[in-house]
Amino acid sequence: MKRSGALIGAFAAAALAVTGLLATTDTAVATPATKGTATAAAVPAHAVTGYWQNFDNGAAVQKLSDVPADYDIIAVAFADATTTPGAVDFTLDSAGLGGYTEDAFKADIKAKQAAGKSVVVSIGGQNGTVSVSDSASAANFANSVYSLMQEYGFDGVDIDLENGLNSTYMSQALESLASKAGSGFVLTMAPQTIDMQSTSAEYFKTALAVKDILTVVNMQYYNSGSMLGCDGKVYSQGSVDFLTALACIQLEGGLDPSQVGIGTPASSSAAGSGYVAPSVVNDALDCLAKGTNCGSFKPSKTYPGLRGAMSWSTNWDATSDNAWASSVGPHVHGL
């Protein structure tokens, strides 16, 4: 997810083996434990996530209050690294957002929460350079994010680190943060497709390691190039099969269906490649949750507990008259 201009950059098809996934039994994965949090209760069973841009890159400039009610989780993009290893900070771009003040921003967070929404702070983006690589930086990460949660009232954190992460220490940092945050903590992730091709990948390992506190993984099904599906076949982005066959890897690789969401661009201007119409997103949701409206790939079973979908971004959605949210939002909520 890029801050300036449309999202660009692509990954070549990865020859990562996805073995044994389809052999997984039909035994349901246990629902995430609360462990001092209330993740499942804080977010609807079927939820829509949207990224809100704390910068002007040509998309519609918004206040949080402008974000449509279809969005259940709003990820404020982005917090930035500081000079302290692992630590992050957030500065509202008041000038770039037309004079949006911190007081108004904080009030809008409270208003969204009063309306039943969750607001989290997103860490990273394409330009993010946050590195959590040892216990000290893990502690710095947890402490600094918790400080932002206290200062602004964020419900939790989104991990959108696109330049690599260390599963051991990021997991340590997130578990520590969840312990500090307590009830209502919301943890979302937005890995790239390459990050979720195999359970041995660091991002996938992180998601599985923090499964007890994880709300949803909204993988970015765009800016990717072709990738392997859970059946070992190669699928091209921009199709319903790309969404369903890649989601299957997560669903059969250990995540609960309630922890899997489909991340797509809100408009053709929001990504360098991989845009699909909202109707295609809805077809993919139906295919995974109900076994209907599939393309050539049809999963061996259905996942009615599928969490939902994500858009990059609420701003790009607004640029297109909120066409994504007005279509995908009701569809997710009707699953």
Q: Is 175 a catalytic residue?
A: no
Query: Which residues lie closer than 8 Å to 226 by C-beta, 6 or more apart?
Result: 13, 234, 235, 236, 237
**Angle, alpha carbons 266-268-271 (nearest 5°):** 80
Distance CA 316, CA 111 (A): 22
Distance CA 262, CA 309 (A): 4
Could you give the C-alpha distances from 21 to 28, 122, 239, 255, 289, in angstroms and in order?
14, 30, 22, 12, 18
Query: Which residues lie closer than 8 Å to 140 by C-beta, 6 or more apart?
Result: 84, 85, 86, 87
**Residue environment code for 134-145, b if the CB has 16+ CB neighbours within 10 A, otherwise e:** eeebbbbbbbbb
Distance CA 303, CA 162 (A): 28
Q: Are 180 and 154 in contact (CB under 8 A)?
A: no
For the chain, the first-to-last Cα distance in angstroms comes to 27
How many C-beta atoms lie closer than 10 Å to residue 92's C-beta?
Answer: 16
Give me the catalytic one of 102, 151, 162, 202. 162
Q: Are 68 and 211 in contact (CB under 8 A)?
A: no
Q: Which residues are the active-site residues?
A: 162
